[in-house]
C-alpha cells in the first residue's frame, strides 16, 4: 500500500490552501486519521474489513515503534549518565539562577520514567542540567599481572 504526501489541502467551502513543510505527525493526529477511517467504513463493502484489519495493524505497529523509541531514549539517558561517573562536570542547579556547581560525579541514579540523575558532593542534579564535562585527573596505579 503506497501513501502519498499531501502538500496542500482545501476544505469544502474554503478558499485558502494549507501547506505543511513538516513531514512528521503527532500521535494524536495519527489516531484521529485512523478513527476517521474506521468511522467512515461501509458495512456493505467487503474490502472495508481488510482496511479495518490494516488500520488495526497500523495502530499496533505505531504503538510498538513508539514504545521502542521510548526505550531507546531511556537507554541513551542511562548510558550518558554512566559515562559521567568519575568525570568533572559543571551543572546549573536552578533555571532561575546563573550559578553553577562543578565537581566529580560520585553516583548515578535512575528512575523508572527514563530520567537519570547524577550526584556531586551528595547533591543530586538532573542530567539535563549538565553544562560541561571534563576528564578528572586520576592517579595511575601499577598492578601485577597474573602469569
pLDDT mean over 104-116: 88
Start-to-end CA distance of the chain, whole Å, equals 64
Q: What is the pLDDT of residue 9?
A: 42
Of 66, 65, 126, 63, the closest CA to residue 91 belongs to 126
Q: What is the pLDDT of residue 47?
A: 62
Q: Encode burial over 107-117: b for 16+ CB neighbours within 10 A, e otherwise.
A: ebeeeeeebbb
What tens digit of pLDDT does each residue of 124-139 get? 998 888 998 998 765 4
Task: Report the alpha-carbon distance of residue 75 to residue 70 in Å, rounded.
Answer: 9
Phi-psi region of 122 (alpha: psi -120 to 50; beta: other; left: phi over 0): left
Detail the DSSP E strand segments found in the chain: 8-9, 18-19, 88-91, 101-110, 116-120, 123-126, 130-134
| Cβ 125 vs Cβ 117: under 8 Å | yes
Q: What is the pLDDT of residue 88?
A: 93
| Cβ 118 vs Cβ 81: under 8 Å | yes
Of 19-28, 39-48, 105-114, the range with the highest mean pLDDT is 105-114
pLDDT at 120 over 90: yes
Q: What is the pLDDT of residue 34?
A: 76
Q: What is the pLDDT of residue 84?
A: 92
Q: Please give the torsion angle defined by the CA atoms of residues 61, 67, 70 and 71, in that order, rounded to the nearest 10 degrees.
A: -120
Q: What is the pLDDT of residue 16?
A: 42
pLDDT mean over 96-121: 88
Domain boundaries, the chain: 27-34+48-137
Q: What is the pLDDT of residue 113?
A: 82
| pTM to 2 decimal places | 0.50
Of 108, 111, 115, the closest CA to residue 83 belongs to 108
What tens digit of pLDDT does each residue of 2-43 get? 554 544 444 444 444 444 445 567 778 877 887 887 777 777
Amino acid at each position: 500500500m503506497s501513501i502519498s504526501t499531501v502538500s496542500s489541502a482545501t476544505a469544502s467551502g474554503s478558499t485558502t490552501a494549507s501547506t505543511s513543510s513538516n513531514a512528521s505527525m503527532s500521535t494524536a493526529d495519527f489516531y484521529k486519521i485512523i478513527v476517521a477511517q474506521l468511522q467512515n467504513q461501509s458495512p456493505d463493502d467487503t474490502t472495508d474489513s481488510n482496511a479495518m484489519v490494516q488500520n488495526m495493524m497500523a495502530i499496533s505497529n505505531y504503538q510498538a515503534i513508539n514504545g521502542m523509541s521510548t526505550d531507546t531514549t531511556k537507554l541513551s539517558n542511562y548510558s550518558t549518565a554512566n559515562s559521567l561517573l568519575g568525570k568533572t562536570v559543571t551543572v546549573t542547579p536552578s533555571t532561575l539562577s546563573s550559578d553553577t556547581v562543578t565537581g566529580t560525579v560520585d553516583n548515578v541514579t535512575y528512575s523508572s520514567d527514563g530520567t537519570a540523575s547524577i550526584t556531586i558532593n551528595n547533591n543530586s542534579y538532573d542530567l539535563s542540567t549538565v553544562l560541561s564535562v571534563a576528564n578528572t585527573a586520576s592517579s595511575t596505579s601499577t598492578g601485577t599481572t597474573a602469569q
